[in-house]
Amino acid sequence: MSTENLTHQDAVKKIKDLSESAKICMFCTELETLPINSRPMTLQETDDEGNLWFISDDTSNKNFEIKDDKRVQLFFMNNGDYQYLSVFGDATIYKDRSTIEDKWSPMAKAWFEDGKDDPNVSIIRVEPTESYYWDTKVGKLVSLVNFVTAAVTGNTTDNSDGVEGKAQV
């Protein structure tokens, strides 16, 4: 496995590609309390600055926890493509109409009786401060062939088709 640390636009592109490919993450709050509170959340978007956006109920424990401590950790897994992303960052909660309009998804209606007009709709933006990724350089199929070949022949793989590193926005 090789290491390739990314910065600026390369980091944003990697975060965007991996997070939007996985789409669902474990969203962790209260990072100093064990066990860490976590729940699955669906990503709405990763913007061109690398910020990750979510729709949330403002009365949820997650929102209350963010109001006390804005630090969060997100874990994305796309097992089908051997892609993984860990994002540590600061969360900000938005309740303004323009942000809700901009980030709303019709799928979110399932959680909010009055849709985007529900008074409990909030939008969470996570601004990454530290990110780390694991990916494959050659794609899922070639990686799978390499692993199967190693297993069948009894050899070990050097995992040279893998890449990991920091993604610093």
Query: What pLDDT score does 40 carry?
Result: 98
- Is the separation of the CB atoms in 167 and 3 below 8 Å? no
* Cβ-based neighbours of 81, under 8 Å, separated by 6 or more: 21, 136, 139, 140
Residue 127 reports pLDDT greater than 70? yes
Chain centre to alpha carbon of residue 85: 6
Counting the structural domains of the chain, the total is 1
Q: What is the rounded CA–CA span in Å between residue 84 and residue 18? A: 7
d(CA 120, CA 48): 27
pLDDT, tens digit, for every residue of 57-110? 999 999 999 999 999 999 999 988 889 999 999 999 999 999 999 999 999 999
Contact 58, 120 (CB under 8 A): yes
Q: Is 19:46 a contact under the CB 8 Å cutoff?
A: yes
For residue 81, give both structure tokens: 């493509």
Whether residue 106 has a cis bond before it, omega within 30° of 0: no
Q: Which domain holds residue 100?
A: 2-167
For position 80, what pLDDT does the model report?
81
